[in-house]
Amino acid sequence: MGIKNGKAILIGAVTGFANGLFGSGGGTIVVPCMERFLNVEEHKAHATAIAIILPLSLLSIAFYVWKTDVLWSVALWASLGGVVGGFIGAKLLSKVSGVWLHRIFGLFMIAAAVRMIL
């Protein structure tokens, strides 16, 4: 196993831990880690994050269904909105420069941090 594979496994473990503990947030960890530690270009990091978050989310939902109550009506309607938003976002990803993608993602992370503090 190479160093890059070891780093990817560690990044995945931290991302999975955050996703399982908080129910979300994996993308805010995995994207910057792929860019910084694996030298993945911004667009590829964001696209790859989607592929990483899906299995994490499926595993987390399986565990949460077993351990807690899930608001299925909310989850289904929010998922529908998420599918529409994900489609639009994926289409726009190729049209946004790497610099602007980095800035927009940073603003979302700052907004999330401020919301969590307040």
Residues 107 and 102: their CA atoms lie apart, in Å, by 9
For position 79, what pLDDT does the model report? 83
Domain that holds residue 84: 3-117
User: Per the structure block, which two tokens stand in for 7?
Assistant: 């780093």
What are the b/e assignments for 57-84, b being 16+ CB within 10 Å? Answer: eeebeeeeeeeeeeeeeeeeeeeeeeee
pLDDT category, 33, cuts 50, 70, 90?
A: very high
Residues 3 and 1: their CA atoms lie apart, in Å, by 7
More confident residue, 53 or 2: 53
- Whether the Cβ atoms of residue 44 and residue 81 lie closer than 8 Å to each other: no
pLDDT category, 94, cuts 50, 70, 90?
A: confident
Domain total of the chain: 1
43-78 pLDDT tens trace: 899 889 888 887 877 777 777 777 677 777 887 888
In terms of Cβ atoms closer than 10 Å to its own Cβ (0-12, 13-18, 19+), residue 96 is middle
